[in-house]
Structure 1
Amino acid sequence: MPVGVAMIMHDFYPSIGGAQTHTLMLSRALRKHGVDVMVVTRPHPGTPAREQVQGIPTYRVGMKGGRTIAGLSYLAAGIAVLIRERHRYQILHCHQMISPMTLALIARVLPGKRLVINPHGRGPRGDVAKLTKLRPLTGKVRVAAALRWGDAFVAIARDIHDELRTMGVPETRIWDIANGVDVDHFTPASPDERMALRRTLGLPDGRLVVFAGRLTVAKALDVLLNAWAQRDATLADARLVIVGEGELRDDLVRQTHTLGIEGSVIFTGGTNDTAPYLRSCDVFVLPSRTEGMPIALLEAMACSLPCVATRVGGSTEVIEDGKSGRLIAPEDAGALARALAEAFATPMWGVYARQRVRDQYAIDAVAQRYATLYEHLLNDRNASPVRTPV
């Protein structure tokens, strides 16, 4: 019988974010490996309660409303779907250790089910911290349930692995499987393709630095704008392209005016596909204060962009400092400005970056690691956790 997996998420496509992008790519790749995948997620404006998202059956359950109403309706409607579709899957794969994990823990009591718990965030506001520090009452109950009923835990970065160990998860139940990227979709552009993409996207000629992601405090775009204001004369004609939406957009636009750099910063808004923007630009920057395993960085590296990122989370595992990019300390605008100039002067970083991503983070290889995990759980083997090479 083919393996069936129910991906359980808070948000899913067309919602924009690293976890959403990764799960969609992973689900598509798993289907190529013969794994039947369905997704259970919360409602999204303008989308039906049930639809096929790029071939993936997707159930959007629950109601909009306050936190309590939305949470309870998500659990009630989600368990109804999982019971109704129980013959379709054997693996419950929850992404994030908040309401998706609670739903998966409830469904875990169904006969023959196994549970994979997959946190995506790290640090003070990451998945483990939310349970152990930010939700001291309900968090303790959920931690205990996860330790009792979680058959395997996925660590997408070393920091998350360490946090899971601190939470009490045995080493034997942690599988280190990094996020992946579609290296056929995210691929370098020829000079002609780059120019054509710029015309299509309305981007100017000249040198372009690109950021792609949510406009949130965690991404530290305020530091990036301060760095951009400090860039040296060699980058005087360059433009900074900020791709994404988020609650800080208005504040960031105001900051560009305060710093007098509004003429060299372009806010494109959000997109469901960053590939055209990445392929049209010259350098990628990720100034984050915290990260799990950043999908945007993997995508940029796959496009052969020289990358500059802060030394946080999975970025430190992906970038070989000085070979496939540059790692700097977070919050250091001066170092960030210097690193951007260095990136333009070191195009070979992009060549090595794509090679590294193709070797270690291609989504098909990542899907095979998950397929191995699922098979181990279903066959009740004494599975040896996967270690992703870095």
Structure 2
Amino acid sequence: MSLTVTHIASGDLWAGAEVQVYQLIKALSETREINPTAIVFNHGVLANKLQSLGVPVTVADETSLSAYQMIQSIRCHIRSNGANVIHTHGFKENILGVTAQRLAGVRCSVRTVHGNPEHTRSWKKPVKRTLDGIDTLIGRWFQQGIVAVSKQLKELLERPYPGKTSLIHNFIDVQELSQEQHQPAEEKAGQVFTVGLVGRLVPVKRADLFIEALDLLRKRFGHNVRGVIIGDGPLRKSLEARTREHELDQHISFVGFLNPATPAIRQLDALLMPSDHEGLPMTLIEALALKIPVVAHDTGGIPEALDYGRCGTLVKEHSASGYAAALDRLIKQPADAQFKASAGESHVREHFDRRENVRKYIALYQSLT
């Protein structure tokens, strides 16, 4: 007997969490055990892509509905689709989704925590602190499963949610990626070396460090490098101004949001990820699958994704000079960079491919019902 699992996600962006929600629902829709449905809080890429799969989708539009109206919309979807399990994918989704779930009389609920919180609790923000507390209590008392996407997150979540936390990695379908091979840097002798950053242009992604590291690579280390920033966001104008201040506007390109970003990632000689923190970045997993050398901050789920340095370069010195020095070594040692990149591709196939991780989600749903 199959189970109906209703996923609830914001869908306001097309970023790491949304990509993973889509990949999970797509994979579940291809199984016999699970009938997925979805509720999203915004019209956009996620809603459109899920609808194209033929998955039942309700848009409980947060831009036009009150919280009460959203709860009623969620409740109606749950009842009309006969949901057995509710699966929430974010802060608002947890609170509104579980409230609607209880009203609909559905017993089972799980959440996936896709990353570390991008804020710290502060008494200066009492409303936010109160909502954080409500969210934690909902997870503790009304949700039967808490999924962490990395070992680091699992350790963090086991304290507030003892006995109910599972580790299920973010994943990609490795076979879906094109078989065209990436051209290693050693085969491009004399050509410009291209370093990329992929992500929303928001403070936590630290695109400012990317720009400053590229500046050091050119001026201090003398490398013929160019940068490509793939993504958009509120900091774009200020970051473009920063490139002009460093006289890098001819050497760093802002290409904006790309969907898919895979063709652009494939053209990189290295991916730089200087984020303040990350859960388990989808872009990082995809780069590893494409055998792109990676330099990244030693934080969050990144060390696990890079097998603690075996599959890429981890940087503890979270500064422009730290990232520039790591990229300098990578450029000077292309054979070592490619060895790590090849190890990364094998690591992704073993630990972050969709088949193993989708089976874990199915087993979790079945264990709760």
Q: Distance in 1 between matches of 2:167 and 2:45?
A: 36
2:7 aligns to what? 7
1:113 aligns to what? 107
2:188 aligns to what? none
Aligned 8 A contact 2:273 2:297 in 1: yes
Write the letter of the residue equivalent to 2:136: V
Q: What's the secondary structure of 1:231's corresponding residue?
A: helix
Q: 1:317 to 1:190 in 2, by over 3 A?
A: closer
Q: What's the secondary structure of 1:52's corresponding residue?
A: helix
2:129 aligns to what? 136
Q: Distance in 2 between matches of 1:47 and 1:369?
A: 23
Aligned 8 A contact 1:10 1:41 in 2: yes
CA displacement at 1:144 relative to structure 2: 2.3
Match of 1:80 among 51, 67, 76: 76
Aligned 8 A contact 2:213 2:320 in 1: yes
Which digits, 9 at most, give the CA deviation of each residue in 1:102-150, with x for residues without a partner? 1221233234531011122214527x999x9872333333432321111
Q: Distance in 1 between matches of 2:55 and 2:88?
A: 16
1:355 maps onto 2:346 in alignment: yes
1:239 aligns to what? 226
Q: 1:185 to 1:46 in 2, by over 3 A?
A: closer
Q: 1:47 to 1:186 in 2, by over 3 A?
A: closer
Q: What's the secondary structure of 1:241's corresponding residue?
A: strand
Which digits, 9 at most, give the CA deviation of each residue in 1:48-72, with x for residues without a partner? 899713343322113415xxx5544
Note the residue ranges of structure 1 that are not aligned, 5 or more in a row.
195-204, 379-390
Q: 1:351 to 1:226 in 2, by over 3 A?
A: same
Q: Distance in 1 between matches of 2:172 and 2:49?
A: 26
More moved, 33-42 vs 216-225: 33-42
Q: What's the secondary structure of 1:208's corresponding residue?
A: strand
1:212 maps onto 2:206 in alignment: no
CA displacement at 1:81 relative to structure 2: 1.9
Q: Distance in 2 between matches of 1:313 and 1:71?
A: 32
Match of 2:364 among 354, 373, 383: 373
1:275 maps onto 2:262 in alignment: yes
Q: 1:370 to 1:45 in 2, by over 3 A?
A: closer
Aligned 8 A contact 2:111 2:146 in 1: yes
Aligned 8 A contact 2:75 2:101 in 1: no
Equivalent positions of 1:77-226 (< 5 A) are 77-85=73-81, 87=82, 89-96=83-90, 98-109=91-102, 110-123=104-117, 125=119, 135-167=128-160, 169-170=161-162, 172-187=163-178, 189-190=180-181, 206-226=192-212
Count of aligned positions: 356
Aligned 8 A contact 1:105 1:146 in 2: no
TM-score normalised according to structure 1 size: 0.83
Q: What's the secondary structure of 2:39's corresponding residue?
A: strand
Instruction: Give identity over the alignment, percent.
Output: 22
Q: What's the secondary structure of 1:5's corresponding residue?
A: strand
1:325 aligns to what? 312
Q: Distance in 2 between matches of 1:73 and 1:49?
A: 22
Q: Distance in 2 between matches of 1:265 and 1:118?
A: 36
Which digits, 9 at most, give the CA deviation of each residue in 1:269-322, with x for residues without a partner? 101211111112221111100111111111111111110110111101111344
1:315 maps onto 2:302 in alignment: yes
More moved, 223-232 vs 243-252: 223-232
| CA RMSD, Structure 1 to Structure 2 (Å) | 2.8
Q: Distance in 2 between matches of 1:21 and 1:47?
A: 8
Q: Distance in 1 between matches of 2:239 and 2:133?
A: 38
TM-score normalised according to structure 2 size: 0.88
Q: Distance in 2 between matches of 1:338 and 1:49?
A: 42
Aligned 8 A contact 2:8 2:86 in 1: yes
Write the letter of the residue equivalent to 2:340: W
Match of 1:305 among 292, 297, 308: 292
